[in-house]
Amino acid sequence: MMRAMQIRTLAPALVAGLFVAGCTLMRAPAFPPQTPAAPPPAGSTAPAASTAAAGAAQATPSPVPEPSAPPPRQFHLSAASTSLVNQAHAQAASGDYAQAAATLERALRIEPDNPLLWIELGRVRLAEPNPAQADAMGHKALALATGDAAAQASAWRLIADSLRARGRNGEAAEADQRAQAASR
């Protein structure tokens, strides 16, 4: 009984002591360790002072160049996605929009970040007719099409067509203007 009581009394102090000891051992040094300078090459006649100055000059970081604008980007479909898009076109041409949408959704599982597939799916949704979903697909494509003016213009045309289908002709005209601006 007495031994159990001693263990219960000493256990918290022991745990706290181990914690403090562990923290002390794991503390990082106040300064990073110095790496020794490389010795001068054999046969070198350079004085030690100039070698130290050269080492200091090398340690000075060079100025970072300002980032330039990224090059224009152009999205393409993979071979598998191209095959599925062609299949979806045939299905849509025969009036089977539900199957065409399902086929394009399969392509989107392959390339979910490709705005061209979102535009294709939006065109099918517009033909169903489901202009609200077509508008959402156009905005998704627009968000993904950064850097690709042609994809951005196609997304804006899809958005304009979906707005026009809902009778929002003023907004559709604005989207058409954005499509023209993007394609320049």
Q: Is residue 154 part of a domain?
A: yes
Which residue in 181, 106, 109, 183 sits closest to 151, CA to CA? 183
Ranges 31-35, 90-94, 139-143: which has the least confidence: 31-35
Q: Is residue 98 part of a domain?
A: yes
Which residue in 114, 115, 111, 131 sits closest to 123, CA to CA? 131
User: Average pLDDT of 85-113?
Assistant: 97
Looking at residue 40, its pLDDT comes to 52
Cβ-based neighbours of 46, under 8 Å, separated by 6 or more: 40, 54
Q: Is residue 100 part of a domain?
A: yes
Q: Is residue 64 part of a domain?
A: no
Mean residue pLDDT of the chain comes to 78
Q: Is residue 122 part of a domain?
A: yes
Looking at residue 59, its pLDDT comes to 56
Q: Is residue 35 part of a domain?
A: no
Looking at residue 67, its pLDDT comes to 64
* pTM, 2 dp: 0.62
Q: The domain spanning residue 124 has which CATH number?
A: 1.25.40.10
- The parent domain of residue 85 ranges over 79-182
Number of domains in the chain: 1
Which residue in 88, 156, 76, 80 sits closest to 116, CA to CA? 76
pLDDT band at 25 (very low <50, low <70, confident <90, very high): very low
Q: Is residue 53 part of a domain?
A: no
Looking at residue 184, its pLDDT comes to 82
Cα 147 from Cα 145, distance rounded (Å): 6
Q: Is residue 86 part of a domain?
A: yes
Cα 110 from Cα 81, distance rounded (Å): 7
